Amino acid sequence: MKPYKTIAAEASDEFVEKKSRFIGHVCPVATEEEAQAFVAAKKAKYWDATHNVWAYILQEGQTKRYSDDGEPQGTAGVPVLDVLQKEGLTDLVVVVTRYFGGTLLGAGGLVRAYSHGAKIAVDAARILHMNPCTVLEMELEYGLYGKVSYILPRYNAQVLSSDFGAAVRLRVMMTSDRVSSFQKELGELTAGSVIPRVAEELCADLQ
């Protein structure tokens, strides 16, 4: 697993350039089917628009696709894709809708407008910094709970669940690069009585 950046949820923003209205939409997706479904939904919603330009980047198959949707080649889809690449984002799709306002923007103007449409959509979304993380499960005596709780923030560990039964059961998540140090300190702190078990490895918005 490698770190990557994506977005949390669908977002949009718009602007007007020489009477042409541009609406940028962005959505997190994991597959080409999801990306194409989002594009189709926007085309259906904005059926009366002059153009619905789109681009997406996926980790799956290292996929990158775009469409000028009738705009001059290289003036629309590529600039939208370029914004996503420059922002270092993946697993998302952008659609920039244009309602023509009667004034031609020229090739340079189109590139700037579609780039801006993609950028404001991305800026409207919450960016997720996804890092390789490990979920650990551990069981400990009540007398050790305070000590263990005290060191967790040092590893920026997220407590996912806690169960206070006959013993305390904790399920925590931290970035994978901190696990070895945490296990070592935990062993020293508890005289080796608490041995965390790796329950899951995944990418999560945790630093």
Q: What does the longest C-alpha to C-alpha distance in the chain come to?
A: 76
Confidence of residue 1 (pLDDT cuts 50, 70, 90): confident
* pLDDT average, residue stretch 109-138: 96
| Nearest C-alpha neighbor of 8 from the set 125, 132, 95, 94 | 125
pLDDT of residue 182: 95
Per-residue pLDDT tens for 48-68?
999 999 999 999 889 999 999
pLDDT of residue 179: 96
pLDDT of residue 61: 83
Percent of the chain at pLDDT exceeding 90: 94
